[in-house]
Amino acid sequence: MSQETMSRRDALKLGALGAAGAMLSASQAMAAAPTEKDVKFDEEYDVVVIGTGFSGLAAAAKAAERGYKVLILEKMGRVGGNSVINGGGMAVPMNKYQKKHGIEDSGEKFIADCLKAGLGINHVEMLQTIVKRSNDALEFALKCGAKFQDVKPAWFGGHSAPRTLVTENMSGSGIIQPMAAFVEKLPGCKILTRAKMDDFVMSNDGTSVIGVTARINYRFDKNLLNDDIENKSGEKKVYRAKKGVILASGGFAMDKVFRKMQDPRIAEDQDATNHDGATAGAMLKAFQIGAMPVHIDWIQQGPWASPDERGFGVAPLLTQQGL
């Protein structure tokens, strides 16, 4: 039985052979990226962005505000990925709502909190970037039309100060929906849903990314063991990106094959809080052309997502209550 014809149930039955299947999947995903001589471009943009979560939309907005013609590809039927289903909590050290409520905070405190929660393996320069830029990110969300509860910032676990702003609807959709509407109105910016990036297109000498291959009218199928490899839906398009391609394809918690390669303790029937399309395909393509992964086997586990409970389940609530 080939990997492609294997049903999900058959694959799950394989148990111990799962890891071998995973290796096969990875090698299938690793076919060499096409170069300019292998393709004919259908359309040309300055920037192509992969993904419509917070990162993709923010990057697209910045590029469009600089006058670039931007194409944003989203493989799912709606925008937002994990960002649109998230809890709507945005931790911003030294934000204006803290000042209004007389709350003292500092960048040093924020970094110390993150290092403690992150067992010291965080990249400190990234944390410094959050300290420097998170108020800009907040202003950008407000400019797009996001609405936050105008109350004292919330004191979330792991933070040594109340610094988390929560959207009015207590969901990331409170940021993503206005942000997507804002981005769509920017001149030169186009969002395509059900449009899956399949691969990068490289320059003939292989040194730079000059575009992507993609499929439009793509239909993600959550019943496949590995949608990135098995799903053949949609029609092929090739997009040139004159200035660059921005990969903002999010995480891979729903990729039963790849997550098990990273941490064999994660059973195939373990649920996750992520959106269905959180798979590793685009990220693997980036590794193939030389991107260097860090920390990807640090997969957050919680008392939720057991095979007996969908999504968050009741376990976190019981934990909060000390039961």
Ligand X SMILES: Cc1cc2nc3c(=O)[nH]c(=O)nc-3n(C[C@H](O)[C@H](O)[C@H](O)COP(=O)(O)OP(=O)(O)OC[C@H]3O[C@@H](n4cnc5c(N)ncnc54)[C@H](O)[C@@H]3O)c2cc1C
Interface ranges with ligand X (CB under 6 A): 50-56, 73-76, 80-83, 85-89, 172, 196-197, 248-250, 273-274, 277-278, 281-282
Q: Write a three-state SS string for 94-106.
A: CCHHHHHCCCCCC
Contact 239, 24 (CB under 8 A): no
CB burial of residue 232 (10 Å; 0-12, 13-18, 19+): exposed
| 5, two tokens | 């014809």
249 or 261: CB nearest ligand X: 249
The H or E element spanning position 243 is strand 235-247
18 or 174: CB nearest ligand X: 174
Least distance (Å) between residue 265 CB and ligand X: 20
18 or 277: CB nearest ligand X: 277
Angle subtended at Cα 148 by Cα 318 and Cα 278, rounded to the nearest 5 degrees: 60
Least distance (Å) between residue 57 CB and ligand X: 8
Least distance (Å) between residue 130 CB and ligand X: 11
**Nearest-CB residue for ligand X:** 53
204 or 301: CB nearest ligand X: 301
Mutual angle of helices 107-117 and 124-144, in 10-degree steps: 110
Contact 144, 179 (CB under 8 A): yes
68 or 239: CB nearest ligand X: 239
Least distance (Å) between residue 52 CB and ligand X: 5
Least distance (Å) between residue 54 CB and ligand X: 5
19 or 296: CB nearest ligand X: 296
Q: Which of 189, 179, 212, 172 is nearest to 58 (CA)?
A: 179
The pair phi, psi for residue 305, each rounded to 5°, is 60, 25
Least distance (Å) between residue 311 CB and ligand X: 8
150 or 205: CB nearest ligand X: 150
Measure the CA–CA gap between 138 and 133, rounded to whole angstroms.
Answer: 9
Least distance (Å) between residue 247 CB and ligand X: 9
Give the Å distances, CA to CA, from 317 to 1, 164, 214, 303. 43, 20, 42, 10
145 or 311: CB nearest ligand X: 311
Least distance (Å) between residue 79 CB and ligand X: 7
Contact 195, 277 (CB under 8 A): no
Which residue type is seen at 307? P
